[in-house]
Amino acid sequence: MPLCFADADSDAIPIDVITPDGLAAALDRLTPTERRWVESQHFTGALGQHVLLGKADGGLGRVLAGFGTPKARARGRFLIAGLAAKLPKGTYRIASGLTGEALSEAALAWLLAGYRYSRYSGPAPDMPALVAPEGIDADRIEVIANGEALTRELINTPASDMGPAELEEAMRALANAHDANLDVIIGDDLIPANFPMIHAVGRASTRAPRLLDMRWGTEGPQLTLVGKGVCFDTGGLNLKPGNSMGMMKKDMGGAATVLGLAHMIMALEMPLRLRVLIPAVENSIAGNAFRPQDILTSRKGLTVEINNTDAEGRLVLADALTLSDDDKPNLVISMATLTGAARVAVGPDLAPFFTDNDDHAAALAVAAAKVADPVWRLPFHEPYEDLIEPGIADLDNAPSGGMAGSITAALFLRRFVESPYIHFDIYGWQPSAKPARPKGGVGMGARAVLEALPKLLNL
């Protein structure tokens, strides 16, 4: 079900968002009876508090919601979503206390709080509805919320129902919805089409690997999005232990995130040409699996020594990134659940990114802060280039030593693209429930990119 605002309703229950500094003024606006009730509940405007005020007929008449101090708010985001989860079913409106970007964030938070993954468990109970607040771009917020919901839905679906073919189906449905074109190369046809590393990674699975190539738009600068679509990662012959394999349905989180972002771009009819490339594979084990110490020749012609078959994402991305250069896009952005090193560095909440362009980095930082989608720049540190040069081949897919794993992976990818390039090494998973983010698949970086695109592409 789409995430959307309720129709305008004169009977919608008002919500007053109150900080501790604004508590006295808020109490002065209440009747003496209401004031005594609020005081009896020890309501101080602290973050997470709320009080329900009744009407004479016994119905719910108003909600007071604590918004806390700036210091308290700095420790979270989407805070109003926590309120949405506590209120009785009904239709509400934010009547006072929020303006500008804070109001837009609250509105998006409310919609995102309505997402539930229910494919196997039946529909979840309806969340309280929100009338779109005045002064926000409601249509844009609904588009963003549903792009994020698409990302979550794809990541949350287990590999039994989200293999390369099912990922293709999801991308085709998106293409059809926006009158985009989708071309697909499948299985052994990848070899004559010169996608040797996509084929090598995916050939051991009973589910054929494929390269998905979607195009939309005819005018404006070209943006190419490349998403890692490893629908399940056993680690290959370097088999993952069970506790590491358990979450590997999310290893197509990069593909899911770029598809969510693509939905946002197309639904908002941004003035650009969009291309989305997804190498969709399952990294499995069979007699024809690629092996440690194999040397693969990439689409670009660079040779790659395989020192760990569990470092497969950079291999399939490399062939797709090489393809992305063919039509000289104005910007290439890759997104991938690529390295555990990125999670060790910044944890699950931040989306680390790499770029050589300081203006691009600045634009992303400003956009991320504005839309509550945190990102963090990591360096393409060139002194580490020799770590990915094994001597026996041009490149090493898994340098020994374990140092700077996210950086060496990013440097590896940069070897395959000549166009202006930004790489995101995302996690794609919410380890525990937070406001507007239930445990499970989650988008990272997409809203920041969307907000930054006018500056990234000079739109």
Catalytic residues: 240, 314
373 CB-near residues (< 8 Å, 6+ apart): 351, 367, 444, 445, 446, 447, 448, 451
| Closest by Cα among 317, 280, 319 to 166 | 280
Q: Is 167 helix (H, G, I), strand (E, B) or coil?
A: helix
Give the rounded distance of the alpha carbon of 309 from its chain centre.
26
Q: Is 71 helix (H, G, I), strand (E, B) or coil?
A: helix
Asked whether 211 and 313 are in contact (CB, 8 A), the reply is no
What length does the chain have?
459
At 89, the amino acid letter reads K
Q: How far apart are CA 339 and CA 312, in angstroms?
A: 11
What one-character DSSP code corresponds to residue 287?
Answer: T
- 440 bridge partner residues: 430
389 CB-near residues (< 8 Å, 6+ apart): 395, 396
Q: Which two tokens stand for residue 253?
A: 């989180």
Q: What angle do CA 142, 144, 148 make, to 5 degrees?
A: 115
CA atoms within 13 A on the CB side of 27: 18
Dihedral angle over CA of 401, 405, 410, 411, nearest 10:
-20
Q: Is 166 exposed, middle or buried (CB count within 10 Å of its CB: 0-12, 13-18, 19+)? A: middle
